[in-house]
């Protein structure tokens, strides 16, 4: 482990990451969950199975300490309660607290992918990962962007790293363990990257089976994790094709802005090609609407268009726009720890439950 370079901002260096802390969390969850529902059960959204802490966007509820951000979701929250619809305009299912796991793996690999930059890929990778880890899942985040934003967002200085995911791809015989970093979030590890990775794109071209290099590199890690989330770079180049080849499913974050859908056709075409030629298992897990502000007609219209285009592929969970997210990047930690009670944290926890519910429903 190259631990020396890892200095999580505001985190707890030296925290024992892994089963001990996770189990503590799980057992606390287990105590508060009266019924053991299967993880895929989607109970109707009614008053009897009322909201638990942090489960839904509900700016009026007592747990809401972030009024500035709550305002961004207010109109929909009122409608949600009245009509029991979510921000996507569809009935909002109930996503139960996932059951604790007794053992871990094999991992489900998810690629966070959109060739457009600034849509929330990195933010979603960190925070979905941290929320899954809170629910007792063992999570590995893979920084697959030479800019290293995921590593920075977790308090790592990529410039100081000698060994990164690049070495794992290019050097046969290098153990993944030597590249792995523990994060301040118990149960969540990181394969960091830095600018070195940009060379891989060129060097891989002459390799045999160049598209499945990442898949081969991740194979020995599959048994140790429940989820591996790959933060893709903003392009549809060879690195992204590697991520799609390694993945079981893709999450596509879409910013609720005017040109959100532009380029998505090209992305779905790429996903389709990878499925046909390289990875028949690959599925579109979902479209994740990000930076949503229900106060603006514009944001609501864009979301309506996205739902029109992708229907049930759009996650019920929608991530609102809040300055809390840029703040977390500076702090070098996920929003689930930086502002644990914020609606932003609640949104990613709900996304984690939705992802788990979808996975179990398959
Ligand atoms: N829901 C959000 N509300 C406000 N700002 C956000 C949100 N999600 C991400 N951001 C900010 O937008 C910028 C781009 O997000 P990022 O996750 O890095 O996108 P990508 O990885 O797709 O380029 C970052 O500064 C991030 O902090
Ligand atoms: Mg990014």
Q: Is the CB of residue 293 below 6 angstroms from any atom belonging to ligand 1?
A: no
Read off the pLDDT of residues 101-131 as tens digits, 9 standing for 90 and up.
999 989 999 999 999 999 999 999 999 999 9
Q: What is the pLDDT of residue 79?
A: 55
Read off the pLDDT of residues 246-260 as tens digits, 9 standing for 90 and up.
999 999 999 998 888
User: Does the structure show a pLDDT above 80 at 70?
Assistant: no
Nearest-CA residue for ligand 1 atom 9 is 120
Nearest-atom number in ligand 1 for the CA of 290 is 1
What token pair was written down for 284?
């579109």
Nearest-atom number in ligand 1 for the CA of 320 is 1
- Distance from the alpha carbon of residue 151 to the mean position of ligand 1, in angstroms: 14
Mean pLDDT of the chain: 82
Q: What is the percent of the chain where pLDDT is above 70?
A: 76
DSSP string, 63-79: T---HHHHHHHHHHHHH
Q: What is the pLDDT of residue 63?
A: 37
User: Does the structure show a pLDDT above 90 at 134?
Assistant: yes
User: Does the structure show a pLDDT above 50 at 201?
Assistant: yes
User: Does the structure show a pLDDT above 70 at 3?
Assistant: no
Q: What is the pLDDT of residue 264?
A: 92
Q: What is the pLDDT of residue 84?
A: 66
Beta carbons of 303 and 256 less than 8 angstroms apart: yes
List domains and CATH numbers for the chain.
100-361 (3.40.50.300)
Q: What is the pLDDT of residue 91?
A: 83
User: Does the structure show a pLDDT above 70 at 78?
Assistant: no
- Distance from the alpha carbon of residue 190 to the mean position of ligand 2, in angstroms: 15
pTM: 0.81
Q: Is the CB of residue 348 below 6 angstroms from any atom belonging to ligand 1?
A: no
Sign of CA dihedral 98, 99, 102, 103: negative
Q: Which one of the ligands is nearest to 73 CA? A: 1
Nearest CA to 111 out of 244, 217, 287, 282 is that of: 244
Average pLDDT for 336-340:
94
User: Does the structure show a pLDDT above 50 at 281?
Assistant: yes
Read off the pLDDT of residues 216-247 as tens digits, 9 standing for 90 and up.
999 999 999 999 999 999 999 999 999 999 99
Q: What is the pLDDT of residue 48?
A: 32
Read off the pLDDT of residues 283-330 as tens digits, 9 standing for 90 and up.
999 999 999 998 888 999 999 999 999 999 999 999 999 999 999 999
Separation CA 102–CA 54 (nearest Å): 25
- Distance from the alpha carbon of residue 24 to the mean position of ligand 2, in angstroms: 32
DSSP string, 301-350: HHHHHHHHHHGGGB-S--PBP-THHHHHHHHTS-HHHHTTTSHHHHHHHH
User: Does the structure show a pLDDT above 70 at 137?
Assistant: yes
Distance from the first to the final alpha carbon of the chain: 36
Q: What is the percent of the chain where pLDDT is above 90?
A: 65
Name the phi and psi angles at 199, rounded to 5.
-70, -30
Q: Can you count the helices (H) and strands (E) in the chain?
A: 13, 7
DSSP string, 243-263: HHHH-SEEEEEEESSTTTTTT
Q: What is the pLDDT of residue 43?
A: 33
- Could you give the C-alpha distances from 210 to 207, 216, 230, 240, 297, in angstroms and in order? 5, 10, 17, 12, 45
Q: Is the CB of residue 235 below 6 angstroms from any atom belonging to ligand 1?
A: no
Beta carbons of 25 and 136 less than 8 angstroms apart: yes
User: Between these two residues, 85 and 134, which has the higher pLDDT value?
Assistant: 134
Q: Which one of the ligands is nearest to 143 CA? A: 2
Q: What is the pLDDT of residue 90?
A: 87
User: Between these two residues, 154 and 24, which has the higher pLDDT value?
Assistant: 154
User: Between these two residues, 154 and 23, which has the higher pLDDT value?
Assistant: 154
Q: What is the pLDDT of residue 259?
A: 86
| Residue 15's pLDDT band (cuts 50, 70, 90) | very low
């Amino acid at each position: 482990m190259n631990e020396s370079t890892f200095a999580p901002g505001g985190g707890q260096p030296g925290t024992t990451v892994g089963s001990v802390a996770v189990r503590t969390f799980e057992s606390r969850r287990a105590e508060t969950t009266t019924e053991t529902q299967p993880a895929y059960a989607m109970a109707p959204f009614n008053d009897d199975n009322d909201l638990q802490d942090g489960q839904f966007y509900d700016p009026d509820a007592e747990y809401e300490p972030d009024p500035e951000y709550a305002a961004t979701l207010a109109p929909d929250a009122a409608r949600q309660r009245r009509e029991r619809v979510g921000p996507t305009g569809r009935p909002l299912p109930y996503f139960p607290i996932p059951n604790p796991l007794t053992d871990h793996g094999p991992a489900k690999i998810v690629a966070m992918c959109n060739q457009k930059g600034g849509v929330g890929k990195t933010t979603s990778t960190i925070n979905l990962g941290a929320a899954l880890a809170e629910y007792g899942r063992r999570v590995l985040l893979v920084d697959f962007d030479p800019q290293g934003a995921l590593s920075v967002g977790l308090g790592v200085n990529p410039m100081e790293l000698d060994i990164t995911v690049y070495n794992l791809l290019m050097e046969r015989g290098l153990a993944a363990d030597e590249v792995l970093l523990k994060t301040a979030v118990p149960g969540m590890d990181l394969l960091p990257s830095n600018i070195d990775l940009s060379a891989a794109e060129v060097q891989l071209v002459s390799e045999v089976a160049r598209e499945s290099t990442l898949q081969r590199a991740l194979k020995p890690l599959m048994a140790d994790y429940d989820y591996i989330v790959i933060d893709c770079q903003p392009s549809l180049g060879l690195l992204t094709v590697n991520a799609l080849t390694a993945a079981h499913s893709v999450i596509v974050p879409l910013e609720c802005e005017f040109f959100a859908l532009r380029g998505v056709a090209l992305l779905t075409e790429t996903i389709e090609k990878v499925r046909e030629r390289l990875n028949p298992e690959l599925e579109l897990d979902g479209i994740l609407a990000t930076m949503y502000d229900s106060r603006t007609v514009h944001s609501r219209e864009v979301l309506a268009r996205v739902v029109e285009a992708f229907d049930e592929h759009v996650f019920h969970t929608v991530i609102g726009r809040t300055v809390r997210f840029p703040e977390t990047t500076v702090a070098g930690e996920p929003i689930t720890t930086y502002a644990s009670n914020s609606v932003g944290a609640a949104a990613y926890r709900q996304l984690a439950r939705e992802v788990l519910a979808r996975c179990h429903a398959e």
